[in-house]
Amino acid sequence: MAESPGSENLNARVAALRQQIQEHNHRYYVLNDPTVPDGEYDRLMRELEALEREHPELDDPDSPTHRVGAKIEDGFDSVVHHTPMLSLANAFDDEEVAQFDQRIRDQLDLDELNYLAEPKLDGLAISLRYQHGRLALAATRGDGRTGEDVTANVRTIRSIPLTVSDSGLPEQFEVRGEIFMSRSGFAELNQRLKRQDEKPFVNPRNAASGTLRQLDPAITADRPLRFFAYAAIDLEQDQDSSPQTLTCQSAVLQRLADIGFPVSPLVQSVSGLQGLLDYHARIADQRDALDYDIDGVVYKLDDFEQQLEMGYVSRSPRWALAHKFPAEEAITRLRDIDVQVGRTGKLTPVARLEPVFVGGVTVTNATLHNLDEIRRKDVRVGDQVIVRRAGDVIPEVVRAMVERRSEDLAEWQLPSHCPVCNSRVEQVEGQADARCSGGLVCAAQRKRALEHFASRTAMDIDGLGSKLIEQLVDQELVHDLSDLYGLDVETLTSLDRMGQKSAENLAASIDRSRRPQLGRLLFALGIREVGEVSAQLLARHFGTLDALMAADTEALQAVDEIGPIVAGHVHEFFNEAANRAVIQKLLDAGVEWQAEAVRETGSRPLDGKTFVLTGRLEQLKRSEAKGRLEQLGARVSGSVSKSTHALIAGADPGSKLDRAESLKVPVIDEADLLELLAGLEQ
């Protein structure tokens, strides 16, 4: 134990120790430039630990000694992101990058654009929320809207500041970035795990993911995680910065670096298409020499005003792009070809391979798409084949190495009957796909249909996973979708690995799903080619399921964005007697969708008007406000432009309010919104 500091002021000594240790952490983990040996660092840490132990009144949750944190007993709480953590569109060649640049130049009517380019780290996206200069919350990306609270673990990562001391910072702001593990740290960790007779990780990203999601933060603290910041939210309200300094992405990254956040040293401002392509080539050349894995580079429009004007599409911004590196390839032997059956009966040939290490993982299976692809690539069982992880995600067989074929191998034939239910296989006319004709008689289709039905974006039945569905179908407990609503706790507890509490929770989740929005139910039914957006469009147009079931293909095509193919699939689905029978059984089981009022296209009071929401609403959830506006015909956008009809500003509005005022867009508060809705929904 360290000696007492005697007459020295304890508060001053503890503050000095914390400051020194934080500075050493920053130099070691952020700047990679330590100024003291490990022994001296350890001595300072031990002294601080001793003082805090002897004088508990001096303890502080933000002390470097608390980076291990407290053990989390019950897993991770969910966190709703104030601003969604969107994904990025991908490009795999120079032509796609050129198209990206051209689209932006056309929309902004500019000859050349300024971008910020940075490496695309192969790690985990994280959101860090700071309040009054202290790290208050850390959340994983999750599904983009809801992540996991991993604050206790993130507090152990020494390159992430627990506090930021700067009087000019706003009271609350958010920093986003990537948590990753270096290659050298990964190698050292695996060596340590092997010495402890523990299973090593397969690659740095898996190691980082497994480390961040440990329930015991002490384990996270003992592993070499790092962090690079790449964005911030609400930092433009910085009190010390003039309105001109944080109007672009490069200025934000510089500000983050100035206040102590690690930023990739490879970030660079570039101009025009050639600047993007040159940067990609330079980083590709450096890739193998880096001490961390990257799988491409990211381009972002630098100017925030230009970003706002470009806006967003689906789940990604129009002003950013991930330019991936060429996929990694390897050679292995094709052992066999199996057939998988999907929820719509589609048969997909799957290559069974001799295990091969590709793109950081061991691959044993790869897609062959369909019979036409197998014939085109001349792939035969027994061949040596080239395997690629397309986009570094989905393994696929690129081609057979016919030049190495040493014997007369037979062509593979598509089975005439389903390998699961023995029903006849039908080749779809004019298409490469083949399908099992068994429908829900086929256990494979039943399982996939149930997985889709229970998924978060469909009926959202929490706890009904694929392994449980396997048991329900294999034990003949569920024959179609409606049978889910006949399951009781006693039946569920009879299944493997299903305890009383889990069974009660699942039964409650099934019961809660009985009143879905009509669009969710349509999506959950699994109609071919009908995704989430199409299902919402159909629900809003027809209002009730009865009206939709009675529609012919002409009426279906009258719906915005519904073409002849989707209309044909919808009409065919509802004309099938077996499908109508399942829908009736769902009704009989107590499933009641929330119908929507029917209005003729063009007659809704807010048709053609665009609204934007910002800030915190007190009486309405943001999703509720958005839904009610859309039912009245409005479009709810994420960015303010000259065409915005009005900005709805709640408490603590962000930069959208400034944008609206600069464009002279009308601004209304929540009371105005409620009055508007009340007057139009009558």
Cβ neighbours of residue 359 under 8 Å, at least 6 residues apart? 327, 328, 389, 392
Measured distance between the N- and C-terminal CA atoms of the chain, rounded to whole angstroms: 74
Q: Which listed residue (71, 120, 324, 585) is catalytic?
A: 120
| Side-chain half-sphere exposure of 474, counting CA atoms within 13 A | 8
* Contact by Cβ (8 Å): 127, 81: yes
Q: Give residue 613's identity as a one-letter amino acid code.
A: L
Question: DSSP readout, 326-373?
Answer: PPPEEEEEEEEEEEEE-TT-BEEEEEEEEEEEETTEEEEEEE--SHHH
The closest of 23, 159, 153, 3 to 77, measured between CA atoms, is 153
Sign of CA pseudo-dihedral 455, 459, 465, 467: negative
10 Å Cβ neighbour count for 558? 12
Alpha carbon 145 to its chain centroid, in Å, reads: 8
Distance CA 311, CA 313 (A): 7
Q: Give residue 226's identity as a one-letter amino acid code.
A: R
The closest of 559, 426, 453 to 509, measured between CA atoms, is 453
* Contact by Cβ (8 Å): 493, 539: no
* Contact by Cβ (8 Å): 222, 198: no
* Contact by Cβ (8 Å): 349, 370: yes
10 Å Cβ neighbour count for 536? 18
Helix (H, G, I), strand (E, B) or coil at 616: strand
The closest of 403, 400, 480 to 438, measured between CA atoms, is 480
* Contact by Cβ (8 Å): 377, 400: yes
Q: Is 199 a catalytic residue?
A: no
Helix (H, G, I), strand (E, B) or coil at 224: coil
Any idea how long the chain is? 682
10 Å Cβ neighbour count for 210? 14
**What radius of gyration do the chain's Cα atoms show?**
29
10 Å Cβ neighbour count for 618? 9
**So which residues are the catalytic ones?**
120
